[in-house]
A and B are shown apart, each in its own frame.
Chain A
Amino acid sequence: MAEGKLLTINMGPHHPATHGVLRLVLELDGETIVKVTPHIGNLHRGIEKIAENMNYQQVIPLTDRLDYTAATLNNLGYCTAVEKLLDLEVPKRAQYIRIIMSELARIMGHHLWIGSHALDIGAMTVVFYTFRDREMIMNITEEASGYRLTPSYLRIGGVAKDITPKFIRCLREFIKWFPTALDGYNTLLTDNIIWRKRTMGIGKISAEDAVNYGLTGPSLRGSGVSYDIRKAMPYGGYDDFDFKIPVGDNGDVYDRYLVRMEEFTQSLNIIEQALENLPEGPVKVDNPWISNPELDAVQEDISALIRRFKIQCQGPEVPEGEIYHAVEGSKGELGFYLVGDGTENPYRMKVRSPCFILVSALEKMMKGHMLADAISVIGSIDIVLGEIDR
Chain B
Amino acid sequence: MTIDNAKVLEQLKSEFSDAIVDDVDFRGDLTIIVSLEKLHDIMLYLHDDKTLHYDLLSDVVGIDKLPREPRFEVAYVLHSMDDFRRLLVKVMVSVDVEVPTVTDIWRSADWPEREVFDLLGISFSGHPDLRRILMWDDFDGHPLRKDFPLKGKDFDEKWDPDTIQVL
What class of interface size applies to chain A in its complex with B?
Answer: 35 or more
Which partner residue on chain B sits nearest A207 by CB separation?
B81
> Given the complex, which residues of A lie within 8 Å of B110, measured CB to CB?
360
Contact A214 B106 (CB under 8 A): yes
Contact A211 B63 (CB under 8 A): no
| Other-chain contact of A333, B55, B58, B115, B135 (Cβ < 8 Å) | B58
Chain B proximity mask over A30-55: 1 for CB below 8 Å, otherwise 0: 00000000001100101011100100
Contact A324 B111 (CB under 8 A): no
Contact B58 A326 (CB under 8 A): yes
Contact B77 A324 (CB under 8 A): yes
- Cβ of B61 within 8 Å of any chain A Cβ, yes or no, is yes
Distance (Å) between the CB of A334 and the closest chain B CB? 10
> Given the complex, which residues of B lie within 8 Å of A323, measured CB to CB?
26-27, 29
- Cβ of A337 within 8 Å of any chain B Cβ, yes or no, is yes
- Cβ of A268 within 8 Å of any chain B Cβ, yes or no, is no
Contact B58 A44 (CB under 8 A): no
> What is the CA–CA distance of A233 and B87 in the complex, to the nearest angstrom?
13
Q: Which of B26, B119, B143 has the most CB of A within 10 A?
A: B26
Chain A proximity mask over B124-151: 1 for CB below 8 Å, otherwise 0: 0000000011111000000110001010
Contact A232 B111 (CB under 8 A): no
> Given the complex, which residues of A lie within 8 Å of B64, measured CB to CB?
348
- Cβ of A227 within 8 Å of any chain B Cβ, yes or no, is yes
A337-B135 contact in complex given A48-B144, A213-B108, A322-B31, C-beta closer than 8 Å: no
> What is the CA–CA distance of A364 and B106 in the complex, to the nearest angstrom?
14
Secondary structure dominating the interface of B: mixed
A322-B75 contact in complex given A211-B81, A214-B107, C-beta closer than 8 Å: yes
A233-B84 contact in complex given A211-B56, A323-B29, C-beta closer than 8 Å: yes
State the total of A-B contacts with C-beta under 8 angstroms.
Answer: 97
Chain B proximity mask over A220-247: 1 for CB below 8 Å, otherwise 0: 0000010100001100000000000000
| Other-chain contact of B77, A84, A87, A337 (Cβ < 8 Å) | A337
Contact A41 B144 (CB under 8 A): no
Chain A proximity mask over B72-87: 1 for CB below 8 Å, otherwise 0: 0001010101001010
Tally B residues with Cβ within 8 Å of A: 36
A335-B59 contact in complex given A41-B133, A49-B144, A227-B84, C-beta closer than 8 Å: yes
Chain B binder among A18-26, A68-76, A350-358: A350-358
Q: Which residues from 74 to 130 on chain B have a C-beta closer than 8 Å to any C-beta of chain A? A: 75, 77, 79, 81, 84, 86, 88, 106-108, 110-112, 115, 119
Contact B133 A214 (CB under 8 A): no
- Cβ of B57 within 8 Å of any chain A Cβ, yes or no, is yes
Contact A84 B111 (CB under 8 A): no
Distance (Å) between the CB of B130 and the closest chain A CB? 14
Contact A84 B56 (CB under 8 A): no
Which partner residue on chain A sits nearest B119 by CB separation?
A48
Distance (Å) between the CB of A79 and the closest chain B CB? 15
> What is the CA–CA distance of A390 and B59 in the complex, to the nearest angstrom?
15
> Given the complex, which residues of B lie within 8 Å of A348, measured CB to CB?
61, 63-64, 144
Q: Which residues from 315 to 367 on chain A have a C-beta closer than 8 Å to any C-beta of chain B? A: 321-324, 326, 333, 335, 337, 339, 347-348, 350, 352, 356-357, 359-361, 364
Give 15 A-B pairs besides A212-B106, A214-B108 with Cβ atoms closer than 8 angstroms: A48-B119, A87-B27, A214-B57, A225-B81, A322-B75, A323-B27, A324-B88, A335-B58, A348-B144, A350-B59, A352-B77, A357-B111, A360-B108, A361-B107, A364-B107
27 CB < 8 A contacts A-B: A40-B133, A41-B132, A41-B135, A46-B143, A49-B144, A84-B27, A211-B55, A211-B81, A212-B106, A216-B56, A232-B84, A233-B86, A321-B26, A322-B26, A323-B26, A323-B29, A324-B59, A333-B58, A335-B58, A335-B77, A337-B59, A337-B61, A348-B64, A356-B111, A357-B111, A360-B108, A361-B108
